[in-house]
Amino acid sequence: MRNDIQIIIDPGHGGTETGAVANGYKEKDLNLEISLELARVLRGYFSGVLMTRTKDEYFDLSRRAAWVAKKAAEFSGKTICPCVHLNAYNGQARGAEVIYSIHSDAKLATCIVEKICSLGLPFRRVFSKESSVNKGQDYYCMHRATGSAQTVIIESLFLDNAYDVAFLKQPEFIPKLAQKIGEGLLTYLQIPEEKPKPATLQLQQPPKIHQFKKDNDELMAAGILKSDHTLTLDNQATEGFVIALVNRLRKDGK
Ligand SMILES: [Zn+2]
């Protein structure tokens, strides 16, 4: 369990701010679902996993970024902030893209996008974007205003693209996607993934004692049965065996 790295997951949008809406999906809901799963995965590795929201509520973007910056400043180690989003554009664009800060490099973004694409989604790009107004600053608020946190904006697929949306309809796709985002983070941090734990050992049932075992043992002890029948008590008896047994009993009774 690592306590030198803090993870702050930011499920994009929320409340009155829906994000992209397409094909019956609202981005804010899926972002939250993916993020909750991602938190579950990462809590297996990091003692500090925070979230900017854990329910469907509005959290103003600049206040959200400031909150992340504050948490990062209070923490002695490294803070990584994955912002979980889904894309929408013109219905044609598709695939996964991850955006990193102009003050960072593409490594974390690349690790994450490669893992997402292992699910079959096409690779679109990794990129960073400088503000055109304020040179030397990031275009995106979550990069620009999150202080010392290393922030990546993860856009796993396009909600308005039919091919990408087909992935969402696969069973268990959201947990799988969250798992892959988590794996990308672990790969970047060079933290080995834990092997799945073996299933709990089934308690061995005590062997059943056959209902005629006691008779078998007593007749053996009395010398009436000449051999041990413990393992064959369910076998059919031959007429010969029964005749021999009755005859032995007859003699024994005298
Ligand atoms: Zn978004």
In the chain, ranges of CATH 3.40.630.40 domains: 2-188
Nearby residues of 186 by Cβ (< 8 Å), 6 or more positions away: 45, 192, 193
Q: Ligand 1 centre from 145 Cα, in Å? A: 17
- Pick one of 3.30.365.10, 3.10.20.30, 3.40.630.40, 3.40.50.261 as the CATH number of 2-188: 3.40.630.40
pLDDT tens string, the chain, 254 residues long: the values are: 999 999 999 999 999 999 999 999 999 999 999 999 999 999 999 999 999 999 999 999 999 999 999 999 999 999 999 999 999 999 999 999 999 999 999 999 999 999 999 999 999 999 999 999 999 999 999 999 999 999 999 999 999 999 999 999 999 999 999 999 999 999 999 999 887 666 665 566 666 788 888 888 898 888 888 888 888 888 888 888 888 888 888 887 65
Q: Ligand 1 centre from 58 Cα, in Å? A: 13
CA dist 77 and 32 (Å) reads 26
* Nearest by Cα to 142 from 91, 214, 97, 84: 84
pLDDT of residue 175: 97
Q: Ligand 1 centre from 76 Cα, in Å? A: 30
Q: Ligand 1 centre from 12 Cα, in Å? A: 5
Q: What pTM, to 2 d.p., does this model score?
A: 0.77
Angle 77-78-82 from CA coordinates, rounded to 5°: 145
CA dist 39 and 46 (Å) reads 10
pLDDT of residue 18: 98
Q: Ligand 1 centre from 13 Cα, in Å? A: 6
Q: Which helix (H) or strand (E) holds 252?
A: helix 239-253
pLDDT of residue 211: 83
User: Hey, which bits of the chain come out as E strands?
Assistant: 2-11, 21-22, 25-26, 46-51, 78-87, 96-100, 123-127, 150-158
CA distances 57 to 18, 24, 66, 121, 151, Å, are 10, 20, 17, 29, 21
Token pair recorded at residue 246: 């009755």
SS3 content of the chain, % helix, strand, coil (to 5): 40, 20, 40
